[in-house]
Chains A and B, each alone.
Chain A
Amino acid sequence: MPHDHAPHPYRPDQDGPLTEAQVTEIAIRELLIEKGITTASEVTAEVEAMDARSPAQGARVIARAWTDADFKARLLADGTAACEELGIEMGTLKLVALENTETTHNVIVCTLCSCYPRNLLGLPPDWYKSRAYRSRTVKEPRAVLREFGTRLPDKMAVRVHDSTADMRYLVIPSRPEGSDTLTEDALAALVTRDGMIGVTQL
């Protein structure tokens, strides 16, 4: 899991001089508020709602799927409805869950832009949106996975799923061996963001 516990540095420009983009954001926000289109508290609430979305949401879904076969069947049949069952707000997002097995590994990408299961995992990491990840994952997925420290047996199939604006994917990682006696909460703690993207195994 090389990326799950990596430090998250602020970019050098965060505390530097005011940027054009920052000025544009402030201007748009102030004008929308003054025109009565939104309010400062509505913007704050939207920021807080997004902050509250983190891989812990996705991990909860995975742990439930590992412990409840009926739920897993519903998750595979209709990912959106199954997540809503757990109280996760999905909006108009269509979610497709992909189960890793002993013979198949799944990985997700968005070659066209940055589509990501944000309701379940929060905002995507920078590398997910990078040219290198977007370009190469569909062409040489095993090489990309090796860069994340993931070496798959040659006989294991790799399926790459290219997300769209309207359809997002979530990988159901294989349940780690020796986790039979763990509670659902303890299982959720084992699930990583990168495992749900499919660049690592648990």
Chain B
Amino acid sequence: MSTEDQNDPTRPPKAWFDMGGDLAGAVVPEEHDYALWEKRVDALVMLSQKKGFFTVDGLRRALEDMGPDAFERLSYYERWVAALRRNLVEAGVLTPEELATRMEEIRARGATYGDVSAGATDG
């Protein structure tokens, strides 16, 4: 949908994530090697889908509901982990209470990712 189409009052407003055709600046050729926590978020999203807790559409819905501010403010996998969390809570796999309790425990373990995530073993 072009910018001109947006001025057509008979068309529904375009959603924020439907970016095709929007005005934007130059493409900055940024990339980075993904960190372990980012790869683990990706893995947990893929595993949760394979296990049937949600679909790619459920992931997308959560990402789209976060709105344009989250898109600008948070990194890609920061948004993904929030979408993963929401979908798992909605699926009844995790509760907000147990997540909050565990996150507090994790913060008490140390100051860096390496310090606090090393203890995870098969339960």
Contact = CB atoms under 8 A, between A and B. Distances in A.
Contact of A28 (B35, B85, B123): B85
Given A18-B113, A135-B21, A148 B40 contact: no
Given A32-B44, A40-B122, A23 B107 contact: yes
B75 to A, nearest CB: 7
A147 B39 CA distance: 29
The size class of the interface chain A forms with chain B is: 35 or more
Given A32-B44, A47-B39, A127 B28 contact: yes
A155 interface: no
A132 B117 contact: no
Interface string B94-118: 1000110011001100111101110
Nearest to A166: B56
B102 A31 contact: yes
A114 interface: yes
A43 B40 contact: yes
B81 A28 contact: yes
Nearest to B36: A47
A38 interface: yes
Interface stretch (A7-15, A63-71, A95-103): A7-15
A47 B40 contact: yes
Given A25-B41, A51-B39, A131-B24, 7 more contacts: A10-B32, A18-B110, A18-B113, A29-B44, A33-B123, A47-B36, A138-B21
25 contacts: A10-B33, A11-B35, A25-B81, A26-B37, A29-B40, A31-B94, A32-B93, A38-B47, A39-B122, A43-B47, A47-B40, A50-B39, A113-B17, A127-B27, A127-B29, A129-B76, A134-B19, A134-B20, A135-B22, A136-B27, A138-B20, A138-B21, A139-B2, A147-B26, A165-B56
Interface of B: 2, 17-37, 39-44, 46-47, 51, 56-57, 60, 63, 71, 74-78, 81-82, 84-85, 88, 93-94, 98-99, 102-103, 106-107, 110-113, 115-117, 120-123
Interface of A: 2-3, 6, 8-11, 14-43, 46-47, 50-51, 109, 111-114, 123, 125-127, 129-139, 144, 147-148, 162, 165-166
